[in-house]
Amino acid sequence: MEKEYPYAKTGLKFAGPFQLLVATILSAQTTDATVNKITPALFKKYKSPEEFSEAPLKDIKDAVKSVNFFNNKASSIKKLSEIIAKKYNGETPDKMEKLVELPGVARKTANVVLSQGFGRAEGIVVDTHVKRLSQRIGLSKNKTPEKIERDLMKALPREKWISFPFALILHGRAVCRAKKPLCGNCIIVNLCRYTDKTKC
């Protein structure tokens, strides 16, 4: 996987941890490509947590309305911006326990920010691709992201926690699709339990 995806990382475009936090919240159930289309103008208009916190909620909603669930996401972004501006003096927290206290931030989002924004391996990103591939190749039998993350943390050395999930994400998008996976193009097909069951 490392040879196939040597530069595996988030597909979101950002400058600094705060922009990554906002972009990651916007990316939930929305493609990175869609998020990357709106964030340049968004971050040009609002350059800091302070500016997001002072912006009218309606204006933030209008700026992000092309993403799914934009109402909830805009509300979360405004609220967490207010907290970061006041409680953390405008600096995005770099600890898991502090990030997950922010509105709209669960472990997946926190892990993206920690790994890609700070270079910290406190956990492993588990999105829909990581979940699907972890089950198919037998790294986890669990169904919830939290339990899958724990299984992966046990299975992988810590130095792989940052890169490995993003390699899985790229492989999931390109080859190991949810429907009609391209098993004939898969570099790890010999490790796959899904192939044994489906004969794809």
79 an active-site residue? no
196 an active-site residue? no
**DSSP class per residue in 113-130:** IIIIIS---SS----HHH
For the chain, give the longest Cα–Cα distance.
56
Per the residue annotation, which of 108, 160, 179, 199 is the catalytic one? 108
In the three-class reduction of DSSP (H, G, I as helix; E, B as strand; rest coil), residue 57 is classed as helix
Per the residue annotation, which of 73, 78, 127, 131 is the catalytic one? 127
Rounded distance between C-alpha atoms, residue 156 and residue 175, angstroms: 22
H-run or E-run covering 78: helix 70-87
Q: Which residues contact 31 (CB under 8 A, 6 or more apart)?
A: none
Catalytic positions are 108, 127
